[in-house]
Structure 1
Amino acid sequence: MDTNTPLLNLRTIEPGDYDELAALMNLVFEDVGGAWPRMTIMDLIHQFPDGQICIEDSGKIVGAALTIKVDYNRFSLNHTYTDIINEQNVIQHQANGDALYGLDVFVHPDYRGLRLGRRLYDARKELCRNTNLKAILAGGRIPGYHKVADHLSVLEYIEKVKRKELHDPILSFQQSNDFDVKRLMKHYLPEDTKSCGYATLLEWDNVFYDEVAPSILDSEKTMVRLGIVQWQMRMMVSVDDLIDQAEFFVSSLSGYQSDFALFPEFFNAPLMGLWPEQSSVEAIRLLSGFSEEIKQRFSQLAVTYNINIISGSMPVMKDGRLYNIAYLLHRDGCIDEQYKIHITPHEQRDWVIDGGDKVKVFETDAGRIGILICYDAEFPELGRMLSEQGVQIMFVPFWTDTKNGYLRVRLCAQARAIENECYVAIGGSVGNLPRVNNVDIQYAQSAVFSPSDIYFPHDATITEASPNTEMIIFADVELDKLKYLNTEGSVTNLRHRRLDLYGGFTLSKQK
């Protein structure tokens, strides 16, 4: 290659490329038989044209990737090279296969170091995603093994390559491109003396694979719009007064096609002003008498305005005990509930509230969500329990009276987004309630947080409200980005958990 900057072009291979392609294969694969016959390459192009990709520099082919479709259940098990290409050099392509099989990737020696192999692999991954295939499989040679075969077993060699104590020109490259070693295959290519006949079965999983392509009505949403009500506490004289104010915000959020509306913790506290002469313990229990009616009327709003509502939280009496419960009012009329788990000293002392004992993920028509009420967001164990149930969005309705209390919620919510690779929306209340003891002042700045990686905003904050101002905010969150993050992020917190050291939460503990 000369010193000029290459003019690279990635395209599919055409029949007229055979002579140039064969010359490159002879150069790269001199030790294992060189180029395939013209008939084999022509058959590949005819049967699966999109799977045959090359990179050219100013019209000259300098790298290529050859690929077929196979049945995943068959070729994720042990097999040999002749199961893929028989003795007559006929490729065993399966047009209805549910996985890609990487035959070869090769780059001209003069062009190594330009990461052309990575480009070819990225093109394969994109093909796998676009055609909704389960995975990419490949039989990977380990041509560096013969150098150490006299004192290392093949498994020891693979482990040392994985730990970067040794370098293998193929296995090291495959692992750097997110392929995992699934099994060792003996006698894969007996004439491959450099690999001593061994090969690794490599696999890259398509996290976007849908086993059954859904109808348009059943398809999973990938772009979800969150709406948050930064609610102002004001004097109210009836439940109708409260619902009228709430309906204004629900209608506004629905008008902007929001999938969710989040209200703050204890958003119905203004109704406690109806009993200024009562103690705080008595007033909160009187307030709980409105909760069932408010829940049902919010459910009607959810259906009427076609929006899922997280109704902040409300005090609820059950079996003689008072709980702090958030309701999820689905737009199809279903209702779910989440108890607050950790009760603050203020709630215990002034209101005598008890805590719940279970957190769960709720399936909605716009993703898998969890609800952590205010103080609960400050306990990482709860967020991890939700993440192990596949949560995509956590909602945190909160009530804080001071900025330092608010910052505890905000900073912990951001941590939950990062460590659990999900979105977190927080929504609080502003204003003052002079006639209500223990809920007299408010401080809030509602926001939506993302994980912190290249797929997301530089400060991991998608949107935030103005502090202490009644308003609504919106955020569009892309659920697909969470899948990319989980497998290809700069760091992958969930995948790198040391379960051998600190274990994990099991769903059985939640039952």
Structure 2
Amino acid sequence: MNKQLYIFTEGKPNRATIRNYGHEDFESLIDVQRLSFPPPFPEELLWNKEQLAEHVDRFPCGALCAEADGRIIASMTGLIVHMDSYGHIHDWATITDDGYIRNHNPNGDTLYVVDLCVIPEYRKSGIGKWLMQSMYETVVELGLARLLGGGRMPGFAAKAHEATPEQYLERVIRGEWNDPVISFLLRCGRMPVGVAHRYLEDEQSHNCAAIMEWRNPFHV
């Protein structure tokens, strides 16, 4: 994949590129992760070069990055799985092989999102939504049934004293509360199908994630 588009920074159009990343991008991708997920996010969960090499070698179609202003500003990674092997009750480490995607199954039915990150200064630019759209295009091109993934709920910690994770998600869906990740995924067309407890070590989400789906409207 290699496509040109415009994002908006400071209210002005800014040309950007979405493309597949390669071995030469690894240092920049790790820097993007470090900027996107500052502490208290565990540093050991940031990409390492061995994981990135597996992404590029096993499923290059699912290894995307975005460039603007002469640098990489965002990335998104996925793998293909057969959901009957996992079900909706799963955790990030199991379904992504701890981010190494050695369980990638070209004969699966679901493109599973391993990671999406955008550096802070570009988070209002629209590039995250364009990356998601690009992954939807990959789902359609490969004839898969769906895109699926767990969305962090970083606003949940502040509301945990008055709501369960499921109640929190429902109130975000009803528009009573806003969550920076879940609300973004809803705007991208993702539909919640449940909540996974003990999904990922994440204090802000109390280790929970909303499992959110996009169904391929062209899949028979």
TM-score, normalization by structure 2: 0.88
Partners of 1:2 and 1:166 lie apart in 2 by 26
Alignment match, 1:27: 35
Deviation of the 1:177 alpha carbon: 1.3
Alignment match, 2:122: 111
SS in 2 for 1:7: strand
Matched, 1:193 2:203: yes
Partners of 1:172 and 1:75 lie apart in 2 by 26
CA 1:90–1:154 in 2, change beyond 3 Å: closer, same or farther? same
Higher RCO (C-alpha 8 Å, min separation 6): 2
RMSD: 1.8
Alignment match, 1:51: 62
1:120 pairs with 128, 131, 134, which one?
Answer: 131
1:453-468 aligned within 5 A:
none
Partners of 1:124 and 1:4 lie apart in 2 by 25
Residue identity in the other structure for 1:152: A
SS in 2 for 1:137: strand
Are 2:52 and 2:100, in contact at CA under 8 Å, matched by a contact in 1? no
SS in 1 for 2:117: strand
Are 1:179 and 1:204, in contact at CA under 8 Å, matched by a contact in 2? yes
Are 2:149 and 2:211, in contact at CA under 8 Å, matched by a contact in 1? yes
Partners of 1:97 and 1:26 lie apart in 2 by 31
Residue identity in the other structure for 1:159: E
Deviation of the 1:32 alpha carbon: 2.6
Alignment match, 1:80: 91
Could you report, residue by residue, the CA deviation over 1:303-333 in whole angstroms, capped at 9, with x for unpaired residues?
Answer: xxxxxxxxxxxxxxxxxxxxxxxxxxxxxxx
Residue identity in the other structure for 1:171: I
Alignment match, 1:16: 24
Are 1:76 and 1:137, in contact at CA under 8 Å, matched by a contact in 2? no
Could you report, residue by residue, the CA deviation over 1:450-486 in whole angstroms, capped at 9, with x for unpaired residues?
Answer: xxxxxxxxxxxxxxxxxxxxxxxxxxxxxxxxxxxxx
Are 2:193 and 2:210, in contact at CA under 8 Å, matched by a contact in 1? yes
Residue identity in the other structure for 1:20: S
* Aligned-residue identity in percent: 28
Are 2:16 and 2:67, in contact at CA under 8 Å, matched by a contact in 1? yes
1:162 pairs with 173, 181, 185, which one?
Answer: 173
Partners of 1:72 and 1:152 lie apart in 2 by 29
Residue identity in the other structure for 1:67: G
Alignment match, 2:213: 203
Are 2:55 and 2:100, in contact at CA under 8 Å, matched by a contact in 1? no
CA 1:124–1:75 in 2, change beyond 3 Å: closer, same or farther? farther
CA 1:75–1:203 in 2, change beyond 3 Å: closer, same or farther? farther
Deviation of the 1:58 alpha carbon: 3.4
Give the strand-richer structure, 1 or 2.
Answer: 2
Residue identity in the other structure for 1:10: I
Partners of 1:36 and 1:104 lie apart in 2 by 10
Structure 2 gap ranges (5+): 1-8
Could you report, residue by residue, the CA deviation over 1:142-198 in whole angstroms, capped at 9, with x for unpaired residues?
Answer: 111000101122222111100111111111111111111111111111x21111111
CA 1:2–1:206 in 2, change beyond 3 Å: closer, same or farther? closer
SS in 1 for 2:14: coil
Partners of 1:59 and 1:7 lie apart in 2 by 10
Alignment match, 1:150: 161
Deviation of the 1:16 alpha carbon: 0.4
Deviation of the 1:12 alpha carbon: 0.7
Residue identity in the other structure for 1:128: V
Partners of 1:32 and 1:74 lie apart in 2 by 29
Deviation of the 1:205 alpha carbon: 0.5
1:473-492 aligned within 5 A:
none
TM-score, normalization by structure 1: 0.39
Partners of 1:177 and 1:75 lie apart in 2 by 24
Deviation of the 1:4 alpha carbon: 7.3
Deviation of the 1:72 alpha carbon: 2.5
Partners of 1:19 and 1:43 lie apart in 2 by 15
Residue identity in the other structure for 1:33: P
Deviation of the 1:6 alpha carbon: 2.5
Could you report, residue by residue, the CA deviation over 1:121-148 in whole angstroms, capped at 9, with x for unpaired residues?
Answer: 1101111011100000101111110001
SS in 2 for 1:168: coil
2:188 pairs with 167, 173, 177, which one?
Answer: 177
CA 1:11–1:154 in 2, change beyond 3 Å: closer, same or farther? same
Partners of 1:133 and 1:3 lie apart in 2 by 36
Partners of 1:150 and 1:123 lie apart in 2 by 38
Partners of 1:183 and 1:128 lie apart in 2 by 21
Are 1:68 and 1:103, in contact at CA under 8 Å, matched by a contact in 2? yes
SS in 1 for 2:105: coil
Structure number, greater radius of gyration: 1
Alignment match, 1:67: 78
Structure 1 gap ranges (5+): 211-511
